Amino acid sequence: MSNSDSIRLFFKKNKAISATAVADEAGINPSAFRNYLAGDRNLPEKHLPALLTVLKKYGFKEDEGTCKVITVLNHKGGVGKTTTTMNLGKALALLGKKVLLIDIDPQANLTQHCGVAQQVDKTIVDTLLNDEVMPVIDIEANFHLVPSELALATAESQLMTDVNGWFKLKNALKFVKSPYDYILVDCPPSLGILTNNALLASDEVVVVVETEYLAISGLGTITKHIDGIRRNSLNENINLLGLLFTKTNNTVVSKEIVKELSTLYKSKVFKTSIRRNISLVEAAGNGTDIFSYAEDSHGAEDYMKFAKEVVEK
C-alpha cells in the first residue's frame, strides 16, 4: 500500500481527527489537503516528511516498504565518494527508482555537486542538532537532496555529548524513508560520529577505493569497523555491499590493485569499476550529474552499469 493510500485510509478510520488541524500543523493548505484526502489531487512530496511527523502524534504508522539505505564511504578524501553518491543516485533515478541523497559531510561537496547554493534555509544540521524534520530539496523528479553546510563541522562536538548523538540520523530517517527506494548517504573522510550516524542508520555500505596503494592502506580498518558495529549490536543488519574501484586506468599499479583486492574480497568487489574520466570532474564543477553533462561519456556508461549491479544485488 502506498503512503497516500495509507494516509487516506487512516483518516477514514479516524474521522474524529481534524484534517484541517493536521494540515495547519504540517504547513499544508487545508483545502488542498482535503482534496488530497478525497483523491482529487496528489500531495507534493516535499510536504510528506512534515505530514508524517504530525500524523505519528495521532497514532499513524507508516509502512517503510523496501527502502534501502546505503552509506558511501572511505576515510580517505579524494577517492570519488561524492561523485559516486551523486551519479549512482541519478542513475538509479533514471532506472525508475525514487532516490534521496543525504549530505552528511561538513564540506558540503554533494550539496554543491547538486547545484544547490550554500545559503539554504535548512540543512542536515537542523535535523541532527535540533531534531527537525529533514529538509528535502527537489533536484529532479524522483531525485532529492538533504543538503549540508560548513556549520556541521562544529556540530560533531555537540553530538558527542548527546546521549542519542550516535542515532540522530537513524531516528530522523524513520520519517522520510517510505517514499524512497534508495537513500544514499555521502560521508566525510573519517570514521567519526557523523560517519557513524550514517553507518548505524544504513542497510548497506559501499566503500569507494581509488586504485593506488595509499588509498587502500586503510581498507582493513573500514571493514573491521563495520564488523564491530554489527557484532556490538549497534546495527545488526548492516552489510558490506561491496568495494567500488574508481579512477581506474591501464597502468600496472591500477591493474595489480584491482587483482589483489578482488582475490582478497572476492564477491564483495563490484564487477563494475569507474574509469578515470575528465567528464566526471567537469560535471561536478558545473553542479550537475554525468548523465546531464555528458550522457555518452565513459563516466555515464560506468555509473549506469554500476547502478544496475546495485539493483541486482
Instruction: Give the pLDDT confidence of 117-163 residue by residue, as tens digits.
Output: 767 889 999 999 999 999 999 999 899 999 999 989 988 889 999 98
Per-residue DSSP letters for 15-33? TTS-HHHHHHHHT--HHHH
The whole-number pLDDT of residue 65 equals 56
pLDDT one-digit tens code per residue, 249-295: 888 888 888 888 888 888 899 999 999 999 999 999 999 999 999 99
State the pLDDT confidence band at 1, using cuts at 50, 70 and 90.
very low
For the segment 4-19, what is each residue's pLDDT rounded down to a tens digit? Answer: 767 887 888 788 899 9
22-53 pLDDT, tens per residue? 999 999 999 999 988 887 777 887 788 888 88
For the chain, list the domains and their CATH numbers.
3-57 (1.10.260), 68-312 (3.40.50.300)
Unique residue bearing C-alpha cell 542519542: 164
pLDDT at position 144, please?
96
User: SS3 breakdown of the chain: % helix, strand, coil, rounded to 5?
Assistant: 50, 15, 35
Q: Sorting pLDDT into bands at 50, 70 and 90, what band is 2?
A: low
Contact 88, 310 (CB under 8 A): yes
Q: What integer pLDDT is reported at residue 215 of this predicted model?
A: 63
- Residue 164 sits at φ, ψ, to 5 deg, of -100, 15
Q: Cβ(111)–Cβ(147) under 8 Å?
A: yes
Dihedral sign, Cα of residue 84, residue 86, residue 90, residue 92:
positive
Task: Read off the pLDDT of each residue in 54-77 and give the average, rounded to a whole number.
Answer: 82
* pLDDT greater than 80 at residue 99: yes
Q: How high is the pLDDT of residue 309?
A: 96
**SS3 category, 56:** helix
Q: Measured at the alpha carbon of residue 205, what is the angle toward residues 199 and 211, in degrees to the nearest 5? A: 125
Confidence at 243, pLDDT banded by 50, 70, 90: very high
Supply φ then ψ for residue 155, to 5 degrees: -75, -20
Which residues on neighbouring strands pair with residue 207, listed in sequence order? 73, 243
Q: What are the pLDDT digits (tens) for 172-204?
A: 998 888 889 999 999 999 999 999 999 999 999
pLDDT of 59: 82
